[in-house]
Every structure is written in structure tokens, then in C-alpha cells.
A and B are shown apart, each in its own frame.
Chain A
Amino acid sequence: MKPVNNRAWFLVLPVLVLVAFSAVIPLMTVVNYSVQDTFGDNEFFWNGIYWFDDLLHSERMWQALGRQILFSAIVLAIEVPLGVFIALHMSKKGAWASACLVVMALPLLIPFNVVGTIWQIFGRPDIGLLGHTLASLGLDYNYTRDILDAWVTIVVMDVWHWTSLIALLAYAGLRSIPDAYYQAAKIDQASRWAVFRYIELPKMRGVLVIAILLRFMDSFMIYTEPFVVTGGGPGNATTFLSIDLVKMALGQFDLGPAAAFSIMYFLVILLVSWAFYTVMTNLDREEGPR
């Protein structure tokens, strides 16, 4: 038998410690809260899966989840094609290429709550550039009162903030395509659409999977911007999962339900991301060697 030396495990130790403190311990704290109840004074009582059960029957949670899914779906449906479209039309070289990159990267550099503030002011019918312009055109636009207006504002804001990310990633994918492919396409008399469909799209696929995954996770966790703009209103119309969670955890200080909520929220994102990733990579494999 070969001699076994387990000392190499010590090399993994720093990572384990880091991950423990950054992820495992905080998460376990939440797990701990989720199965207990408290009436203050730091006294906790075992509560089993009551909070989870309660949450699964909570209309409020299901509605927030529905809004969240709708929001992510709308945002992805707009940002992905738009980002790819922009990437296809960005300059490939020269000073314009750099200019395009800087302009595209700008929204990504702005802190989230500043983005919220910008749009909050931008959309105000009394002093906001957008709101006032629309109002003077005779449009009854008011994101604090009208549900549709609130949704439109938040979706447009997210598109403004994040389309750049997709565009930049898609652009990187496009730039990695060797010139020979375009030359071959010319020789084959491929149409613009065929070039996109059979050369650009397949080559962008890798980065697009990452881009969509990132945008899905981010949009599913969105908090700051809608919180600043609408505060979840009017009514509960833009109360997404994270906004609801914060209300529950910090507003009402319901530690137990909020902890249960957090865990389920986390599991949903994990599950959807995993499913998404698996589907995308399986599609990839199907097209590979058989």
C-alpha cells in the first residue's frame, strides 16, 4: 500500500476558514433563526418548520414571487436582445471603439442607490426632466400613483442600468471571432442574418449564457433601485421579494419568518440558476460530438 500523508489538507484550511466565515456560518445563523421563535429578551423557542409552512401558505409571499418572476422575465426579454443588438453595432476598431466602450460602461459604474435617485428625480412630474416633459405633452404619467407607470419606470431604469453589461459581454464574444469567418461568409454569399445566425450567435453563446445567468440572478435579487424609486408602491405593486423580505426582517423585526423567507429565497435562486445552467450546457453538449 502506498503511504498516505494527509498533511496536504492543511493547505485547504485557509479557504475553509474563509468560506466558513463568509458563507457557511452566516447562513447557518439564518437557518437557526428560521426554526425558532422569540418574544424578545434574546429568548428563543423551538418552532420546527412552522415558519416555512406558514410562508408557503402566505399570499403575500406568492404575490411577491410572482412579481419578481414577471420582472426578471421582462427585463431579460428586453436586455438580452437589445444588448446583443448594440454589441453588433459597436465600432470594431479605432477611437470610436474606445469611446463606445467608455459610454457603455458608464451606467455600470454608478452606485445602485444613485441610479435609483437619478430615476426617482428624473421621473417626477413636477421637477423631473422625463416626468415634466411627459406631463407637458399631456400624458398622465405618475409612477407614485399608477401601477403601470411604476413598472415601466423601474423596467426602463433597469434596462438603462444593465443592458450595457450584456452589450459588453456580447461585444467581447464578437471580437473573438477571427476575420476568416466573415471572409468565408462573404465568399459563401451569406446574408447578414445568416452571418448572425450561423457565425456570431454560436460564437457568442458562451458569453451569453454567463450574461443571462448574471442578469437573471441580479434581477431576481433587485432591491435598491426600486426601493429608492417607488419604495415598493404604489400599494404593493412593485414590492419584490427582497423588498418584502427587508420589510419583514427589519421593518417588522419578525426574525423567524424572515429567516425562513431568506432560505427559501436563496433556494429558489439556486434552483433556477442551476436549472438554467444545466439546460444551457446540455444544449451545448447536444450540438457537440456524438
Chain B
Amino acid sequence: MARITLENIAHAYRPNPQGEADYALKELDYDWTDGEAYALLGASGCGKTTLLNIISGLIRPSRGRILFDGQDVTDAPTAERNIAQVFQFPVVYDTLTVRDNLAFPLRNRGLPAAQVAARVQAVARMLGLEDMLSRRARGLTADAKQKISLGRGMVRQDVNAILFDEPLTVIDPHMKWELRTQLKSLHREFGHTMIYVTHDQTEALTFANRVVVMHEGRVVQIGTPQELFERPAHTFVGYFIGSPGMNLIPARIEGDRAHLPGGTIPLGRGYAGLSGPVEIGVRPEFARLSDAEGLPVTIRRVEDVGRHRIVRADLGGTPISILADEDEPLGPDRTRVVFDSDRVGVYADGWRVEGRP
């Protein structure tokens, strides 16, 4: 296992990139801690697969260096990096048995047969594949095939990192949850460095210790699920993570007060020298309806999702969402919204600005 260092990595698919816009992956400098579970989260086309392929060696970055445990592997081919990858669609060797599939990477590396058999047995036990070892891989279900793919990586004891490229895409919903849980416990037990690419926030937040959120080729925030929820560094993170996403309301900030359409609200901190379009961001969880205080809103509709209700409202032309408990009264008199002032973030040009207390 290894620490993976990205030094000023950037990648453009076209030769001779000119400006920022040509780069599919904007410059990135980051240390991936050994033994940590990461998720690369972002919408389709945000560059997360590019980043994964740079780490696995399928793509050579246009700029920068990549190091495994301090050793430069920028030009090393995939085979030499000693990583494992689980692809979106299960890749198994159809005509081979499950046992031979698992043994394949070890046999190719010339390990003695006894050692191969022992490793295969061990990995099959970890993944719960023991019962199907002598079956052919072809007829198995998608989730079993994904386990085999994963097993082909885990069977190598010295594997540097295991990369996952949206591995649950073709798995049935009820198996998704089970596989994710299993992955998590495998990580806890064996401590492989795992990097998991996904566009599904639930997958990312439940799987990873640290989530790397990407947007338009840029890493916008790296943090624990809690950090992403509580202090999104970019409006994209606020919007993308959470269900529904963070409310973003255009505002004019004066010191520790924000002027919004329909009134002024206090902020917990003071802000100065903001440039670009300024917005405040507040999660629906930290907004509540009131009959007396707060800003007037027009309520459009109420969605009951079971454990709570989502109130869709309109604040001076900006649609916002408010979370209301199941037993909270809703009525024609409760048409004002109150934001929890500690939880209101200020964003200038999309990026979070830290205020002074």
C-alpha cells in the first residue's frame, strides 16, 4: 500500500492546451493518505474519471508528476503501478472459473501454485465467493462479477490502491446497499487505499472517509462528509450535496448583515471586501417557517417525503426549500422564513468566504 502524491497534475485531451478552458482536469496538488477511503464525487464530465485514469496510469497527465510513496511513476505503465481497478461494467474472464479468475493476476506474476491457491481461498472467503469458486464466471449475476473484479485486485497482497469507477452502476438497487456495506467493512478490515468514483452522493458519503468533490474539471472541496455538509467550500458543493441542496440567495452584505429581497438578516460574522456576485447559502435543514419573525415568502408547494416535509417557497424571486417536521403546523399564517444565523454561509463568486467574528 502506498501514499499517492499528485504534484500540480493537470490534463488536457487536446494537444497544446492554451487556456484554462482546454483542460479537462485543472491543476491539482494533493496527497492521498495511505489506507484512506476516498470518494471522487461530481456530475458526469467533471473530470473525475480522468483523474482516476491518471492515477491508474491509463492516461499520462499533460502536466505535473504523480508519485507513489515518493517514487515518480508519471511515466510508469499501469502494470508497474501495482494498482487494482474495478470498472463500471463488470470485467471478468468469461470462460474461466471464478477460481481461475481470482488466480489470474497471481499466475501472470509467476507465483507458485500453492501460494496462489491459498490467496484465492482467502480472498474468496473475504468476499463470500467460496460457494461459486468452480463455476464459470460467465453466467453469474452482475454483483458477483463485480466481486470477482474486486477480488482480482485484493488477491495481490501488495496492491498499492484499489480504484473503483462507478462500480455499482449496473447492480440491482437492493444489492447496491449490500455491496457498499461490504466494501466499507473490507476497507476497515484490510486498510487498502481505496478511491471510489461516483456521481451518487449517497454512495460517496457512506463509503468514504474523505470526499473529493469535483466540478468542471476542478477539485472544489476535499473533506469529510460532515465538512461538506456543514461548510461547503463552493456553491456547487452546497447544491450538489444534500437533498434538497443548499439554498442560494443573492444578497448584498454590509458588515454582519445581509440584505435579501424582502428584508435584512443578521449573520454570525462580519464580512468585508467581497467581490463578484455575492450569495448567501443556507441548507434547508437550517431554515424554518414562522408566523411573526423572518422574511416573507410565497409557498408554492409542500412535498411529503415521509420522515419530513419539504416546503418549496419563493423568496423575492429565488426558489428556496425549507425542511419542516412531520408534526410542524403549516398554515396560511406561517409565511415567513427564519434562517439559523450560525449556519448561513457567504459566497462570493461561488466560493465560500470566511467572516470575522
Chain A residues with a Cβ under 8 A of chain B: 178, 180-181, 183-184, 186-191, 194, 198-199, 202-203, 287-290
Contacts and interface: CB of A to CB of B under 8 A. Distances in A.
A21 B104 CA distance: 56
A289 B87 contact: no
Interface in B242-280: none
B85 A184 contact: yes
9 contacts: A180-B87, A180-B89, A183-B58, A183-B78, A183-B87, A184-B87, A187-B105, A203-B94, A287-B136
Contact of A189 (B89, B108, B135, B139): B108
A259 B89 CA distance: 55
A199 B93 contact: yes
B139 A288 contact: yes
Contacts of A191: 108
Contacts of A288: 136, 138-139
Nearest to A203: B94
Interface string B77-103: 111000111011101011110000000
Given A184-B149, A187-B84, A188-B152, A202 B79 contact: no
Contacts of A289: 135-136, 138-140
Nearest 5 CB-CB pairs, A to B? A289-B139, A180-B87, A188-B105, A184-B91, A189-B108
Given A183-B78, A198-B96, A287-B94, 15 more contacts: A180-B89, A180-B91, A184-B149, A187-B56, A187-B78, A187-B79, A187-B85, A188-B108, A189-B109, A191-B108, A198-B93, A202-B93, A202-B95, A288-B138, A289-B136
Contacts, number: 65
A287 B104 contact: no
Contacts of A181: 91
A146 to B, nearest CB: 45
Interface residues of B, number: 28
Most chain B CB atoms below 10 A, which of A178, A184, A203, A289: A184
Most chain B CB atoms below 10 A, which of A186, A194, A202: A186
Contacts of A178: 89, 91
A190 B149 CA distance: 14
Contacts of B56: 183, 187
A287 B138 CA distance: 7
Nearest to A194: B108
A20 B83 CA distance: 63
B95 A198 contact: yes
A194 to B, nearest CB: 7
Contacts of B77: 186
Interface string B50-76: 000000101000000000000000000
Contacts of B96: 198
A287 B108 CA distance: 23
Contacts of B109: 189
